Structure 1
Amino acid sequence: MWWDERLLGLFRTHLQPTLTYWSVFFSFGLCMAFLGPTLLDLRCQTHSSLQDITWVFFSQQFCLLLGSSLGGLFKRTVTQSLLILFLSSLVISVVFAIIPFCGHIGILALVMAIAGLAMGCIETVSNIQLVKTYQQDSAVFLQVLYFFLGVGALLSPLIADPFLSDTNCIQSNLTQNGSQDLEHIRNSLIPHHPGNLSGFELPLHGPAVTRISYAFWIIAVINLPVPIAVFLLLYKQGMVPGCAKQLGSLLSADELAMETQKKGEGSDHNEAEPHEEKGHGVPVICCQSKNFRGASFPFFAIHACAAVTLFMSDGIVGEYSGFVYSYAVEQPLSLAHKTAGYLPSLFWGFITLGRLISIPVSYKVTPRSMLLINLIGVEVTFLFLLLSQYSTPGLFVGTAFLGLFLSSVFPSMVAYTEDILNYKGCATTVLVTGAAMGEMILQILVGMVIQTQGSYSFLVCGVSLASLALTLYLALMVFDNIHSRAVEEPSCRTPPLGREADPYQR
């Protein structure tokens, strides 16, 4: 069986914190996917233009990038991490509750910026804590983490769909668009790239009639158990004011596990490294400047190659989901708006399915091998899409396979890179930030290329980005081998710590 007793024992030991991290990522997924389908109704609510409303996308994504970087500062102890997760998940519920009251585009952009900060902190802190908890066994649990992200990302658009306006939600004597035009606009709205929508004139003045508020309030209620779960974990640690520290807290369990591991390594090793991490309770020291002194070039190259690989792969996820609809309705396929509208949903559905499949697969296959298979699969799929550009079934099949191959790239890369660097946690912050930058920047760059070069460049950009990602990953594997030899050689020549070498011994 793929789930053995040792892994099950680890899961039981860390059951409550693991379930809490997974639930927080479900909250992250809810907040990540609702904005696109509801953007037209929010346009009516704020009486803003199509060009202006896309700035709400940008404010969320930019602050998600900022939050991903800041999240690395709050990982020194489990207590700090849980406090950040509690505040972030609570902020997401509050954001959903107050969005219906945002009547101005600036206020809405500010609220979504706050949500982006919370999402960034959740992404970084949850990844780091899972990696530090399970270390060499973290790959399986990271795959589950991102499966919960996919579930949340699929659920929020489904909740919003019954409340979306079928006709223009600003009542005016100006142009009244039918549902077909609104569906086309809804699928074409991309962050900072509203597409070729200048021919659609939507009224800006008049009473707004929309029911989207109910969707936001439903999602806020669904998300409410998440901050409650984090609060209960804080209570178990005795961090709630007026509550004494509980026996068997998460911190004590982690310290006990780490002490058991250290005993196996020998007492001399412990004495030589008095400042090493002790479970989650001691500050992470890998990001301090003194720890980079004397670091080899492969050490920095591993960080750079892994981050840029995720920059490309997450950028592909963002640009493909954003532009595949626009590509499908243009020449040469010229699909109907309703048919093309299924493509983004198909893409995200197979990403979630791929993450579910990756849970048992990651127990049998190493993250290094999974990454190689996935990135080769992404490259081959884009070449297939390029060769079958005149085939509608080929586009649907290629979209499904692309979602499958991209699904487990991020969690596998986190597990692989942290394994190379001995689970310090610092690499996760770099990887999360690189992925967030790719998702934001590549959408803008690819959108500019498509507008200037035409829809054909959509697949050419995909092939180019996939090739770069695969090349950088192959470079990462080379630097991994160099780094491993550099670490092993000194350990073979250095006498045991705590003992002085005998200068007369031959």
Structure 2
Amino acid sequence: MTLLDARIWSLFKRHWRQTLTYWSAFFSFGLCIAFLGPTVLDLRCQTQSTLQQITWVFFSQQFFLLVGSGLGGLFKKTLPSSLLALFSCTLVISLVFAFIPLCDHVLLLSVAMAIAGLAMGVIDTIANLQLVKLYQKDSAVFLQALHFFIGLGALVSPLVADPFLAEDCCVLGANWTANSSSSSSSDLQHLRSSLAGHGAALGNVSQYPLHTEGVVVTRVSYAFWIMALINLPVPAAVLALMYHERLLPCFNYSPHLIDRDSLSSGSPTGDGGQGHGSLFGCCNPAKLRGRPASFFVLHAVGGAILFITDGIIGSYAGFVYTYAVSPPLLMGHKTAGCLDSTFWASITVGRLAFIYLSYRYTSPRLLTVSLAGVILVQCLLLIFYTSSVFLFIGTCVLGLCISSVFPSMLAFTEDTLDYKGCATTVLVTSASTGEMMLQLLVGSVIHSQGSYSFLLCCTISSFIGFSLFLLLLYVQHSHRNCSTDSSQDTDMKEKPEAGGS
């Protein structure tokens, strides 16, 4: 038996240019989202700012990523507008990478990361929207592959940055001596690992004194220029797709290929079609009139599930190191620093495996197994909380289980709503919100209650997410019945009219 049947393969061959372009854009997304944690201390030296000041850069990126996710739906109506936005955003990411070494003040760096976050949010929404629009009921396989490329980019950027990171204090103060090199290096390793999860663990590391005045000795600029070059093929790929589809200005007087495809297939791609709206367009009363209550509940519950699960990913990545180096585990800094990389690597491997599994099994089944697996792993982590070995095992399994939730949930919700609503934008925005807000919540709980509360918070969140999923299944069943009844009523009204004419 072949891995992909002829129909799926035929669909891919028909849309391979667009598909590969959206996948490459998500590589750009992953490249940008993972570099800040490892390089933040060198950036602190470059801007000669305090640790408290530099962590505002994390917030700037995350907040504007959330804003960009909501705004991304504005470019959904036509392929030209979405590709132009995608080209602009991927090019902006390369420009930001090139500009970061020139930022000598933390405010400039925060603005640069805000622009990058906005571009990342738009990429996130557009790529998901367009793949769902292209493949509809067959989108699950391609969405899994799309989110695999985030992990791939997130693995590449720390590898690029690592050779250029300062091994000792990168701002040499007047009272710095060679004798302090060893302790400085140890503290720096601890700080980097603690800040790997988007700066969420600031409260636990802010006691470390770091120089802000002196000679700056860092080579991190080379890492950003290399990443800018690595990312350049992505906007080039988008531009090549626009050229192929005759969407560049030089083809204004010839028919666009996408228009001819639409006419031959009979599916509208312009404003008249029922497409996905922006987060704000979802609230248009004219479009919402006559919708059953289940329509709104599906959006809300689907968004809540991704709020929880992406929040768990962000919280686990942000605080697993802090938990590992605290009592009772008291792991070494270098060993504990591998946990975050292990977690993201397992998510990447999981998404690669689920490309095939999503072809063989339905999204509800995959979601059931994944969410149940997340609960089981979290409970076992609570039970074996003193075992360092099991923490590594649990981190791997948790990454594998939770890796497919976002793409599977997106495919399932859009399929339930018959691809007529703005579910993609709502779900993407909810996931971004959860990743930002739950980190702040879990961080405050850890600060007041201790490191063990980290596992407890994640476990409680897992149970809430699974309960919401059961509610989603019930609402989905009711929505299907409601849609069937509505279609039968419409048929009954049309039959007498046909008979009397």
TM-score by length of 2: 0.94
- Write the distance in 2 (CA, Å) between the matches of 1:226 and 1:280: 26
Per-residue CA deviations over 1:301-327 (Å, capped at 9, x if unaligned) read: 100000010000000000000100000
Match of 1:235 among 235, 243, 261: 243
Match of 2:192 among 173, 186, 191: 186
Q: Please say if 1:226 is aligned against 2:234.
A: yes
Cα separation, partners in 2 of 1:374 and 1:192, compared to 1, 3 Å: closer
Q: Please say if 1:427 is aligned against 2:423.
A: yes
**Structure 2 residue aligned with 1:448:** 444
- Write the distance in 2 (CA, Å) between the matches of 1:209 and 1:372: 51
**Structure 2 residue aligned with 1:358:** 354
- Write the distance in 1 (CA, Å) between the matches of 2:63 and 2:236: 28
- Write the distance in 2 (CA, Å) between the matches of 1:174 and 1:12: 64
Cα separation, partners in 2 of 1:499 and 1:37, compared to 1, 3 Å: same
**Structure 1 residue aligned with 2:215:** 207
Identify which range, 112-121 or 293-302, moves more after superposition. 293-302
Q: What pairs up with 1:395-434 in 2 under 5 angstroms? A: 395-424=391-420, 426-434=422-430
* RMSD across aligned positions (CA): 1.8
CA contact (8 A) 2:79 2:269 kept: no
- Write the distance in 1 (CA, Å) between the matches of 2:245 and 2:494: 36
CA contact (8 A) 1:307 1:434 kept: yes
**Structure 1 residue aligned with 2:93:** 92
**Structure 1 residue aligned with 2:171:** 170
Cα separation, partners in 2 of 1:174 and 1:458, compared to 1, 3 Å: farther
- Write the distance in 2 (CA, Å) between the matches of 1:34 and 1:209: 19
**Percent identity for Structure 1 against Structure 2:** 51
- Write the distance in 2 (CA, Å) between the matches of 1:206 and 1:3: 60
Q: What pairs up with 1:55-454 in 2 under 5 angstroms? A: 55-174=56-175, 176=180, 177-189=183-195, 190-191=198-199, 193-244=201-252, 249-257=257-265, 259=266, 278-279=268-269, 282=272, 284=275, 287=282, 288-424=284-420, 426-454=422-450
Shift of 1:279: 3.7
Match of 2:488 among 487, 492, 500: 492
Tell me the amino acid that sits aligned with residue 31 of structure 1: C
**Structure 2 residue aligned with 1:464:** 460
Cα separation, partners in 2 of 1:245 and 1:314, compared to 1, 3 Å: farther
- Write the distance in 2 (CA, Å) between the matches of 1:483 and 1:393: 45
Cα separation, partners in 2 of 1:293 and 1:247, compared to 1, 3 Å: closer
- Write the distance in 2 (CA, Å) between the matches of 1:2 and 1:403: 24
Per-residue CA deviations over 1:367-399 (Å, capped at 9, x if unaligned) read: 111111111110111001000101111100000
CA contact (8 A) 2:172 2:214 kept: yes
Identify which range, 70-79 or 487-496, moves more after superposition. 487-496
Shift of 1:196: 2.1
SS in 2 for 1:63: helix
Tell me the amino acid that sits aligned with residue 184 of structure 1: H
Number of equivalent positions: 487
Residue segments in structure 1 that go unaligned for 5+ positions in a row: 260-276
- Write the distance in 2 (CA, Å) between the matches of 1:12 and 1:302: 33
Shift of 1:82: 0.3
Shift of 1:294: 2.0
Tell me the amino acid that sits aligned with residue 93 of structure 2: I
Cα separation, partners in 2 of 1:489 and 1:333, compared to 1, 3 Å: same
CA contact (8 A) 2:171 2:212 kept: yes
Q: Please say if 1:29 is aligned against 2:19.
A: no
Tell me the amino acid that sits aligned with residue 189 of structure 2: E
Shift of 1:88: 0.2
- Write the distance in 1 (CA, Å) between the matches of 2:238 and 2:496: 49
**Structure 2 residue aligned with 1:52:** 53
CA contact (8 A) 1:2 1:360 kept: yes
Per-residue CA deviations over 1:59-81 (Å, capped at 9, x if unaligned) read: 00000000000001111111110
Per-residue CA deviations over 1:147-175 (Å, capped at 9, x if unaligned) read: 11110011000100111110000011345
- Write the distance in 2 (CA, Å) between the matches of 1:52 and 1:255: 55
Q: What pairs up with 1:7-22 in 2 under 5 angstroms? A: 7-22=8-23
Identify which range, 424-433 or 311-320, moves more after superposition. 424-433
CA contact (8 A) 1:25 1:149 kept: yes
- Write the distance in 1 (CA, Å) between the matches of 2:271 and 2:10: 22
Residue segments in structure 2 that go unaligned for 5+ positions in a row: none
CA contact (8 A) 1:132 1:425 kept: no
CA contact (8 A) 2:201 2:319 kept: no
SS in 1 for 2:42: helix
Tell me the amino acid that sits aligned with residue 120 of structure 1: G
Tell me the amino acid that sits aligned with residue 209 of structure 1: V
Identify which range, 419-428 or 204-213, moves more after superposition. 419-428
